[in-house]
Amino acid sequence: MVLEIKTKKRIYFIICYIMLVVLITTIFRQYTNQKIENQLMTSLEDLSQQNILLIQNRMGDKLKELSNLAKKLEQNEVCTCEEVYDDLEEFADVFEFKEMGIALLDGMAYMSGDKEEITKYDISDREYFQYSKNGKQYISKILRHVRDQSLINVYSVPIQDKQGEVAGVLFGIKEANDFIQSFKVPIFNGKGDTYLIDSNGDIMTGTLGNVMSGILNETDETTNLFERLNKYSGNQKATKTLSQLLKENKSGSIYMNDNGYQYANISPTNVNDWWLVTVAPKNVLQERVKEISYAIQILGGCIALGAIIILILIIRMQKKSEKYLQGIAYIDQFTNLYNKVYFEKKFLSNIKEVSGKQAALVIFNIRRFKMINEIYGEHIGNELLRSIASLLQESITSEKEMMMHGHADEFAALYFYDTKRELEERINEILEKIEIIECENNKIKLSMAVGIYEVQNLEYSFEKAYNYANIAKKDSKKSSGSSFSYYSKELRDIEINQKKLNDSIREGIKKKEFKAWFQPKFNAYTQKIIGAEALARWYKEDGTVLSPFHFIEFSEQAGLIQDIDQLIIEDVCIKMNEWKKQGLPYITVSVNLSRAYLNNVNSIYALKRILDKYEISSEYIQMEITESALVDSEEELSNIIDMLHLLGFKVLLDDFGVGYSSLISINNLNFDVLKIDKSFIDTIGTEKGEYITKYIIELGKKLGMDIIAEGVETEEEYIFLKNQKCDMIQGYYFSKPLEASKFEELLKESQIK
């Protein structure tokens, strides 16, 4: 589910990222297109201004020269055409006209070009004449010569008389071709055009081939720009702008369709009412754009590629950090196996994904791992765990199987199998491999307790399955050596019962249901009570009284024994005070000290505080420490015994003979009393048994200890022990453990005796 959300998020991110890259490149493209368009317009304008300067120079200068000549004629008071006619030819040469002419106000003109006969021509209807007659300088459009119909342009200026009145018109004729050629300047590699228009939009000349043929009357081609624009659709705006510019005598740009879309700059030339139109077809822009757009595309491509690389890097980094975090979250750093969190996460889904096979949750636990740690040290203990982890990992045979490291020496696996036999063979193989592990030159012998839960119900939670495998593991722990147990309902019932027992012991402790019974200890010679052993009994709410068999070992494992021991000591104190009140003889009472006390010095003080509370002197209390507790740590035990002595207690070594301690090590431990275990007393009557018992008594005495025998049931045993100088006797022969009131009676009786 989390993964799905993550993938969705990632897809959204990629889409947004791509959209952003596309948006940025589009905006960038549009921006550069706009820039290029502006640039083109500026260069059109520049071109146009350059050409206007040229026009002004060429044509304006010509008019000026002509005008100067006209003034000279005025100064010379030349007022008849005939008088200047002879000079016209010369003037034409000087001023580079094809011909020159002069006309009076009636429109009758003389021209220099007449070779044989001087002819008068009527130019009264010519536009240039009209203009100059009205006092203006003028350059005509392309016209046909009145004489020979050749194509010409005419530059004309007025001639004024002394009063400043126009008296005639001086004019120079140029071949139209000169005019046309001066505009044939190629722009934009010949793709652009320049042409002149007048304020009506009539095209005078220019580089427009087809229009020129119209001008030269070779075709019917329209020579008016407005008319041309009307021929094509979408020119409304262009027409409007054009007429506005012409009207307001301003320069400006239009985008028009004249046999193809084009950008045009319209600028006044200040020659006649002429305007220069400089045109660049749209494809010129496109070509420019194309070049730049290639560059942009390459740049865009690079950006996109860079963006994609960055995206891939981001995703890879994300995945890496995800993996790293997953590693931290799901991998046990100590063994490199999965941890319980990951195992739990995948447990049920992996089982669901494997069909046609049985699944088992198997817990592996190293027996007595604590001891291995103590013997070989923590460092080797850790190495050992790592070796076991890699051996266990080798047992994983398919993708969906998993191995995890749990707490301390616990591992768990999810296996798939076809038959139980197959599973067992697999587990046995692992157990064989783990039997002896070599670790830094130590060959360590190991055994494992293995609990197997065959997954039956996928409705169960992982916790439940793990708990079941754990129940099986606990069962397997009961046997020695490597072994495995299957979870079963019976085991579960035991577990449930144990849980119940735990709860009710806790409740019993709270309600002080644990009381002391007393088994008297007798002087072997006088047969008088010289003391007693307090033995715990559980007075349950339902009226039953339970012996230690039902709760001591369990309480030890459940960590409840110290509370019980304290309750018993308290009860002993209470009873001793009662006996004291009743004037009964003061006897020494021994209490059994669980091994849990031996690992915790402070807990001994808790016992002393109870004695202090009831004002019982510790010299009347003996502490019984069982021999099997000696295995743990002799040094610690020695400290505890010294401390007990310091607090005034006597210390008794209980169950001597069942453990494996030697008398030598016991000598170091300063016990006051040695209690021979019932198992030795039972051997009395056999030669060997009697020999050993005799030997223990002698040696114990030599080591300075008083000797007590427990579990004495027969007269024969008693006589033998007495003869061997055993000091005290405890056992059914004299008395079973008694509840406090009965023991009290016994004490009273013994007083009477």
Q: How far is the CB of 534 from ligand C2E (least distance, A)?
A: 6
Going by their DSSP bridges, the two strands 99-104 and 529-539 should be labelled as: unpaired
- Do the beta carbons of residue 573 and residue 589 sit within 8 Å? no
Q: Does 592 bind Mg ion (CB under 5 A)?
A: yes
Q: Which of 142, 285, 561, 697 binds ligand C2E (CB under 6 A)?
A: 561
Compare residues 332 and 654 and give the one whose CB is closer to ligand C2E.
654
Query: Is the distance from CB of 215 to CB of 205 less than 8 angstroms?
Result: yes
114 three-state secondary structure: coil
519 binds, among Mg ion, ligand C2E, none (CB under 5 to 8 A by kind): ligand C2E
> Residue 193 or residue 624: which is nearer to Mg ion going by CB?
624
Q: Least distance in Å: CB of 548 to ligand C2E? A: 3
Q: Are strands 166-175 and 650-656 parallel, antiparallel or unpaired?
A: unpaired
For residue 737, the minimal CB distance to ligand C2E (Å) is 5
- The angle, 0 to 180 degrees and rounded to 10, between the axes of the packed helices 420-434 and 378-394 is 150
Site string for ligand C2E, 625-644 (x = CB under 6 A): -x------------------
**Nearest Cα to 676, choosing from 699, 653, 660?**
653
Nearest partner of 153 among 172, 125, 136, 131, judged by Cα: 172
Contact pattern for ligand C2E over residues 390 through 419, marking x by CB under 6 A: ------------------------------
Binding to ligand C2E, residues 567-586 (CB under 6 A): 568
> Under a CB-based contact definition with an 8 Å cutoff, are residues 267 and 45 in contact?
yes
Binding mask 313-342 for ligand C2E (x = CB under 6 A): ------------------------------
562-to-260, 428, 494, 541, 552 alpha-carbon distances in Å: 107, 40, 24, 21, 10
**Closest separation in Å from C-beta 350 to Mg ion:** 52
CA distances (Å), origin 670, targets 441, 545, 641, 647, 653 = 38, 36, 7, 15, 10
Helix (H, G, I), strand (E, B) or coil at 90: helix
| Interaction between residue 654 and Mg ion (CB under 5 A) | yes
Do the beta carbons of residue 696 and residue 679 sit within 8 Å? no
Alpha carbons 457 and 668: distance in angstroms, whole number: 58
DSSP result, 390-432: HHHHHT--STT-EEEE-STTEEEEEEEESSHHHHHHHHHHHHH
**Min dist. Cβ of residue 516 to Mg ion (A):** 12
Query: Which stretches of 95-208 are DSSP H helices?
Result: 127-133, 176-182
Binding segment (CB under 6 A) for ligand C2E, from list 33-41, 165-173, 384-392, 709-717: 709-717
The contact pattern for ligand C2E, residues 530-549, with x = CB under 6 A and - = no contact, is: -----xx----------xxx
Give me the least distance between CB of 626 and ligand C2E, in Å please.
Answer: 6
Q: Return the residue of 139, 711, 727, 728 that touches ligand C2E, per CB under 6 A.
A: 711
| Bridge partner residues of 265 (DSSP) | 253, 278
Token representation of residue 102: 């002069």
Among 495, 565, 571, 655, binds Mg ion (CB under 5 A): 655
From the list 24-32, 291-299, 458-466, 730-738, the region that binds ligand C2E by CB under 6 A is: 730-738
Q: Which residues contact 347 (CB under 8 A, 6 or more apart)?
A: 361, 402, 414, 462, 465
# binding residues, ligand C2E (CB under 6 A): 24
Binding partner of residue 727 among ligand C2E, Mg ion, none, CB cut-off 5 to 8 Å per kind: none
Neighbouring residues of 78: CB distance < 8 A, sequence distance ≥ 6: 84
Looking at beta carbons only, is 280 or 535 nearer to ligand C2E? 535
Structural tokens at position 597: 């006390």
Kindly give the pairing relationship between strand 514-523 and strand 728-730.
antiparallel
Residues 556-587: b if buried by 16+ CB within 10 A, e if exposed: eeeebbbbbbbbbbbbbbebbeebeeeeeeeb
Tell me if 594 contacts ligand C2E by CB under 6 A. Answer: yes
Binding to ligand C2E in span 601-630, by CB under 6 A: 624, 626
The candidate with the shortest Cα–Cα distance to 199, out of 134, 168, 156, 243, is: 243
Which of Mg ion, ligand C2E, none has residue 508 at its interface (CB below 5 to 8 Å by kind)?
none
Rg (CA), the chain: 63
Distance CA 125, CA 143 (A): 12
Q: Would you count residue 655 as binding ligand C2E (CB under 6 A)?
A: yes
- Least separation in angstroms between CB 345 and ligand C2E: 44
The angle, 0 to 180 degrees and rounded to 10, between the axes of the packed helices 462-478 and 340-353 is 110
Binding window for Mg ion (CB under 5 A); candidates: 183-191, 234-242, 299-307, 649-657: 649-657
Residues 503-532 that bind ligand C2E (CB under 6 A): 519
The residue ranges of DSSP E strands in 260-344, in sequence order, are 261-268, 275-281
193 binds, among ligand C2E, Mg ion, none (CB under 5 to 8 A by kind): none
Is residue 627 close enough to count as binding Mg ion by CB under 5 A?
Answer: no
Question: Which of the ranges 341-349, 442-450, 568-576, 619-627 carries the binding residues for Mg ion, by CB under 5 A?
Answer: 619-627
Q: Which of these segments, 300-308, 579-587, 596-604, 618-626, binds Mg ion (CB under 5 A)?
A: 618-626
Binding segment (CB under 6 A) for ligand C2E, from list 65-73, 116-124, 724-732, 744-752: 724-732
Selected from 552, 560, 697, 738, the binder of ligand C2E by CB under 6 A is 552
Nearer to Mg ion, 262 or 594 (CB): 594
162-170, 414-422, 458-466, 705-713 -> range binding ligand C2E (CB under 6 A): 705-713
CA 121 to chain CA centroid, nearest Å: 100
Amino acid 367 reads R
**Candidate segments 101-109, 497-505, 647-655, 736-744, binder of Mg ion by CB under 5 A:** 647-655
Q: How far is the CB of 515 from Mg ion (least distance, A)?
A: 16
Quote the least distance from Cβ 713 to ligand C2E, whole Å. 4
Q: Which of 371, 396, 482, 485 is nearest to 435 (CA)?
A: 482
Q: Which residues pair with 403 in a beta bridge?
A: 413
Closer residue to ligand C2E in complex, CB, 332/571: 571
Site for ligand C2E contains 565 (CB under 6 A):
yes
Write out the residues near ligand C2E by the rule CB under 6 A: 519, 535-536, 547-549, 552, 561, 565, 568, 592, 594, 624, 626, 654-655, 710-713, 730-732, 737
Residues that bind Mg ion (CB under 5 A): 592, 624, 654-655
